[in-house]
A = this chain, B = another copy of it.
Amino acid sequence: MASEGFIPSYETGTEWLRAGGQASDVVMSSRVRLARNLAGWRFGHKAGHGDRQKVLEICRDRIAAAGLSSVGAQSSSAPSTPPQVMWIDLRESPPIERQLLVERHLISKQHSKGKPLPDLKSGDIETTDPRGVAVALPDERLSIMVNEEDHLRIQAVRGGLALAEAWADADRADDLLESKLDFAYSPRFGYLTCCPTNVGTGVRMSLMLHLPALKLTGSIEKVKRAASDMNLAVRGFYGEGSEAAGDFYQISNQTTLGKSEEAILNDLAGQIIPKIVEYERKERRDLISKRGAALEDQVYRALGLLTHARLLTAEESMQMLSHVRLGVVMGLVSDVDLATVNALMLLTQPAHLQRVMGTDLDQEQRRAARAQLIRRRLLKTT
């Protein structure tokens, strides 16, 4: 297991931004997360620094020994980047490094900050709370947070509509880990978790959808209501509490008890998501036929702004990239490629931007650097 302090391939290798998966005109990525805890160890707010340190060591060692690098690895992986699992101890990571992981959806914001421990009143939580993350390289299809809300949060991700594949990866990682670790499990309730909403399967399946047409026509509200009626959660680009930046929406199950993983998978991937995808596509077709000129205008204004502005906030960039993405997948824009647009959505986030530019930047400098980066990347392809 590698043990470097940063993601070396920040420019590429993020499976969830890979364009070209199934239904990638609407579905950005499919994600499966499993919540697990070790039997015999305190979890949640009962766990102190000593418990967490011990759990961290156990998990770190067993993850390294579990042979996880084979999970979800692409057969086409170049020999120059052999699959490996990198361990990152977040106490040792500088803030910008942790922010980078948040932006890559490898750790939660909460995990980047650490949590106050009952037996540790002094010291900086960020550098003392024992927690880490294991990331499968080169494509980050698999990652495992240690000592986030639960002892283990196993996450598998695939680009496009590929929930079954993501589920297979998560399930396989779960099996490999379970052969090395004793998970807290109740025959009656299933897997025990810190928060009761995760008890049972401990699974959350979620899809990141790009729904600009439903947003534009206002029909997104219908989708939200229907999702809510089916016990699905609708969140923004950066999860719980985040805004639906750039017309991206994460839809996920909320039920983990009394419903099998296969049932959740079949409901989402087999029924609900295909319906939303079809709804979005229908609205796009309607927009083209009824308001084609206005739609094209919106797409090209966004492209003009991105290729000319000298100062751009992350929010505006995201919204404009969303318009351009719609233009690209609808064939309105032919000389910009989808992979570039997807990559820019990540690279223009604050930590990535500073990594690309190779220097620390304050907010104002970031606005200028962001505009420069977008301009260069887009003009390279146009």
Contacts and interface: CB of A to CB of B under 8 A. Distances in A.
A357 to B, nearest CB: 16
Contacts of A306: 304
Contact of A300 (B303, B309, B364): B309
A210 to B, nearest CB: 21
Nearest to A302: B308
Interface in A349-377: 364, 368, 371
A118 to B, nearest CB: 48
Nearest to A312: B297
Q: Which residue among A294, A308, A364 has the maximum number of chain B CB atoms within 10 Å of its CB?
A: A308
Interface string A279-321: 0000000000000011011001101111111110000000000
SS class, residues of chain A in contact with chain B: helix
Interface string A122-148: 000000000000000000000000000
Interface in A212-258: none
A349 B214 CA distance: 36
A371 B305 CA distance: 15
Contact of A371 (B297, B303, B307, B368): B297
Contacts of A294: 311
Q: Which residue among A301, A307, A310, A311 has the maximum number of chain B CB atoms within 10 Å of its CB?
A: A310
B308 A368 contact: no
A370 to B, nearest CB: 12
A76 to B, nearest CB: 37
A341 to B, nearest CB: 16
A305 B297 CA distance: 10
A309 B294 CA distance: 10
A308 B301 CA distance: 6
Nearest to A308: B304
A293 B311 contact: yes
A253 B305 CA distance: 41
A300 to B, nearest CB: 4
Contact of A301 (B296, B303, B309, B368): B309
Contact of A297 (B293, B300, B304, B309): B309
A307 B304 contact: yes
Contacts of A305: 301, 304-305, 308
B311 A303 contact: no
B293 A304 contact: no
A319 to B, nearest CB: 14
Interface in A82-104: none
A311 B297 CA distance: 6
Given A293-B310, A304-B308, 11 more contacts: A293-B311, A297-B311, A297-B371, A300-B309, A300-B310, A301-B308, A303-B308, A304-B305, A305-B305, A305-B308, A307-B308
Interface of A: 293-294, 296-297, 300-301, 303-311, 364, 368, 371
7 contacts: A293-B311, A297-B311, A300-B308, A300-B309, A301-B308, A301-B309, A305-B305
List the 6 closest pairs (A to B, CB-CB), nearest first: A304-B308, A304-B304, A297-B310, A297-B311, A300-B308, A296-B310
